[in-house]
Structure 1
């Protein structure tokens, strides 16, 4: 089968995807050509597809993480050779393809213990978890955290990593089935159901205090609930809006002394030093079993189905594209 690439002709729904044969190109100076074995998908890809986060030009290629094998290296590249197992995550987008040429400084070597599929499903989420747990906040022994969508891709890694740091984890999930999964990842308490009174439950579970940190990737009216579930001088962190745009929040909701943070892993990874620090931490975490479960796999030709499944929110875990 010839190599393939998925083009996005314009912002919009999945009908804007177009699969075509990928021409063969050699890497230039400082570049590496990777043959993808697995391409990770993230809700960020949906934001890119819909145009919520603008891309420089169209047709465009989306996707921000993948893993595979080095096929060729350009001049001035050291530390890599054809056949090496590698991965990458973060900007610039362009992973939905059989192969990719990318700057060598963004390529991370994979240890034998981490498969290409695990790396592609967990690298960007692991980097995000590292940023959220250790840089935006500093979770450790004795911390109490609230993690929304605790059985999802990022949520599952956050649960496992927070527990490894000694935190007490309160998770929210939409169903008993997802509650069972989140419990298996280490969550101490689960709030189940989309109609649950999250603020009241958090206050009950924390003796009326609230959590030290709340991680909200749901958006919509969940951010206000997250702020109200945080203790005085705690932090609410918004990292996405899977449920829709976030309504305006009155600054008075931050009294007394609560903090609100809106970090971006793509902005974090734009700095190569921060990127490599987070990527190496994420891979070390994968070696310890802090990974995202793989919920489904699709070929590049079925990218529309992969996006439709991701948007339903039914999958507990990450969805891979396998060229």
Structure 2
């Protein structure tokens, strides 16, 4: 098969398109022909070695495709089924083997490419709005990078839960996308904390921040007393060490650094979040914006564009 392989940490040029041995299907596993793989910042962190993996490795955690074979002890899936996944390393390839327990049957009304585009970020947006901080009607929510793949989903799901959503973006084009997703107010990054306080009076109930270093301090300032800072990513770089006393001084704030794996730790929790997510997509309540599709061989360009913030919505690799 063809795959992207990382032999040593580095920049986008560390992503090498090459022949790779076909995966072997063991008991409890499923072989999938990949329709599309989602590109996420976690893939960038793996490529750079910020979150190290054993070398060499095939990157990518998210995708969707068609079941080509099932191993022994697999009864819930069959050849020809459309499936998606959010936590299977090796997705930048034409084929992938995954534990059946990690695969989600994609329902009618959800195309495979859409499932590849929404599963990882959609599950993340679900846990952030339903579990990390349970958004309630009337809450004020700040969503950074509101025109990105995560931001567009977070905005829509927070609106479904009755929130007032304030988004941050860098350009007029991205502002238009954020407003189309339902953002009530859209700000530029410069001085956003003061603008948030002007809009809300006391600050927002929760900040969903996947940007990290460049937004963290102002995000803390934008919170109301006892507000929640949910730092779920670090696209601009890691946040320096934080003195917990700051949380007290700013109003008994909460700070968490959540990750998806701890919110889909059981099959029941994964199934609950996926059922909500795919149900919203199938009904039209949640729109998935796929902005860029790259051939698998152009994975390096996809990473370059993602890191340079030249993309909006979701980026896919297509074998």
TM-score (normalizing by structure 1): 0.94
Which of 22, 25, 31 in structure 2 is aligned with 1:24?
Answer: 22
Unaligned 5+ runs, structure 2? none
Which of 272, 281, 303 in structure 1 is aligned with 2:276?
Answer: 281
1:26-105 correspondence to structure 2 within 5 Å: 26-55=24-53, 57-90=54-87, 92-105=88-101
Q: Residues 55-95 of structure 1: CA distance to partner in whole angstroms, max 9, x if unpaired?
A: 1x1111110111010011111111211111111112x4111
Indicate yes or no: 2:277 matched with 1:265.
no
> CA–CA distance in 2 between the matches of 1:213 and 1:107?
31
Q: Give the structure 1 partner of residue 108 of structure 2.
A: 112
Quote how far apart the aligned CAs of 1:121 are. Answer: 0.9
> CA–CA distance in 2 between the matches of 1:319 and 1:6?
16
> CA–CA distance in 1 between the matches of 2:82 and 2:27?
20
Could you tell which deviates more after superposition, 129-138 or 23-32? Answer: 23-32
> CA–CA distance in 1 between the matches of 2:116 and 2:306?
16
Unaligned 5+ runs, structure 1? none
Alpha-carbon contact 1:224-1:249 (below 8 Å) kept: no
Alpha-carbon contact 2:23-2:95 (below 8 Å) kept: no
Q: Residues 180-218 of structure 1: CA distance to partner in whole angstroms, max 9, x if unpaired?
A: 1100000001112x42x1111111110x21000011111
> CA–CA distance in 2 between the matches of 1:215 and 1:110?
28
> CA–CA distance in 1 between the matches of 2:199 and 2:134?
21
> CA–CA distance in 1 between the matches of 2:261 and 2:288?
19
Quote how far apart the aligned CAs of 1:168 are. Answer: 0.5
Report SS of the residue matched to 1:68: strand
Alpha-carbon contact 2:166-2:185 (below 8 Å) kept: yes
1:128-207 correspondence to structure 2 within 5 Å: 128-192=124-188, 194-195=189-190, 197-206=191-200
> CA–CA distance in 2 between the matches of 1:64 and 1:285?
22
Quote how far apart the aligned CAs of 1:283 are. Answer: 1.8
Alpha-carbon contact 2:135-2:161 (below 8 Å) kept: yes
> CA–CA distance in 2 between the matches of 1:287 and 1:225?
37
Alpha-carbon contact 1:236-1:260 (below 8 Å) kept: yes
Q: Give the structure 2 partner of residue 226 of structure 1.
A: 219
Indicate yes or no: 2:207 matched with 1:214.
yes
Indicate yes or no: 2:314 matched with 1:318.
yes
> CA–CA distance in 2 between the matches of 1:45 and 1:16?
12
> CA–CA distance in 2 between the matches of 1:250 and 1:221?
17
Quote how far apart the aligned CAs of 1:270 are. Answer: 4.5
Alpha-carbon contact 1:144-1:167 (below 8 Å) kept: yes
> CA–CA distance in 2 between the matches of 1:288 and 1:234?
32
Quote how far apart the aligned CAs of 1:110 are. Answer: 0.7
> CA–CA distance in 2 between the matches of 1:16 and 1:179?
33
Q: Residues 248-270 of structure 1: CA distance to partner in whole angstroms, max 9, x if unpaired?
A: 33323213211111101133335
Could you tell which deviates more after superposition, 37-46 or 284-293? Answer: 284-293
> CA–CA distance in 2 between the matches of 1:270 and 1:9?
30
Once superposed, what is the RMSD of the aligned Cα atoms? 1.4
TM-score (normalizing by structure 2): 0.95
Q: Residues 34-60 of structure 1: CA distance to partner in whole angstroms, max 9, x if unpaired?
A: 0011110101100010011111x1111
Report SS of the residue matched to 1:20: strand
